[in-house]
Amino acid sequence: MLIGLQKLDLEIDKTLKKKEELTYQIQALEKELVSLQEKLTDKERELKNIRRQVREKEKDIEEMSLVLAKHEEEKYKVKSQGEFTAIEREIAQVERKKEETEDLLLELMEREEELISYLPSFKRETEEKRKSLGEEKQILSKSLENLVHKEEKLRSERKKKVSQLNSLLLGQYEQLRRTKDGLAIAAVKNGVCQGCNVGVPPSLISRIRRGEIVYCESCSRILYIAEEG
């Protein structure tokens, strides 16, 4: 009975471990999906931002052109050379500023162009990736669901088994499982405990054969005789 219980418990352990791995994989996929979406959102935000800057620069340039035209008119209405020179200086300053702004606008428009030509394919790739990741996630989730069912089944089987066991023995078994790396019951094969690889004295072996509960003198596991062959 204990051997059966241990088989079941080892199966449960395995299921739990697989469940943990799957959960981890699913979380990793979810993270990847989020970062994919974030990248796309970033690019779209950048384009929006650049378009706004382009509009601003265009407006600035327009305003500076107006200022220049006004100064050109003023130039012919001045009465002294001093005033004339001052306006000329003003014009040169605005022109310099306008040129700088035009250079900036050009750079912005280049980046805008780049983003406009790049975004659709990036969007498509993101969509495809999201689809394949979504499918992958679905498969993993399905496996996880199966594992949960399996675990439930194993646990109810375990409950049945445990209810038929002597509670003192069960307590010992649980205690050993906790301290012996999940393996409370060990087979004796060719006179050797398979839990610790130490020989078991013949007197103990004959007590096992008589149906007594016998513990390994070396590792304290509950012993049973392995079927030969």
The least distance separating Zn ion from the CB of residue 194, rounded to whole angstroms, comes to: 8
Tell me whether residue 109 or residue 225 sits nearer to Zn ion (CB atom).
225
**Residue of the chain from 23, 126, 143, 218 that contacts Zn ion (CB under 5 A):** 218
Beta strand residue intervals within 141-201, DSSP E: 185-189, 192-193
Tell me whether residue 119 or residue 205 sits nearer to Zn ion (CB atom).
205
Q: What 3-state class would DSSP assign to 225?
A: strand
* Residue 64 C-alpha from the chain's centroid: 52
If one asks whether residue 2 binds Zn ion (CB under 5 A), the answer comes out as no
Q: What does the block give as tokens for 74?
A: 């003023």
Q: What is the DSSP letter of 178?
A: H
Tell me whether residue 57 or residue 177 sits nearer to Zn ion (CB atom).
177
Q: Vertex 77, ends 76 and 83: CA angle to 5°?
A: 90
The least distance separating Zn ion from the CB of residue 36, rounded to whole angstroms, comes to: 53
The least distance separating Zn ion from the CB of residue 216, rounded to whole angstroms, comes to: 3
The least distance separating Zn ion from the CB of residue 223, rounded to whole angstroms, comes to: 7
Tell me whether residue 57 or residue 180 sits nearer to Zn ion (CB atom).
180
Cα 31 from Cα 25, distance rounded (Å): 10
Tell me whether residue 126 or residue 218 sits nearer to Zn ion (CB atom).
218
Cα 229 from Cα 189, distance rounded (Å): 10
Q: Which of residues 155-214 bind Zn ion (CB under 5 A)?
A: 193, 195-196
Burial class (CB in 10 A: 0-12, 13-18, 19+), 53: middle
Where along the sequence are the contacts to Zn ion (CB under 5 A)? 193, 195-196, 216, 218-219
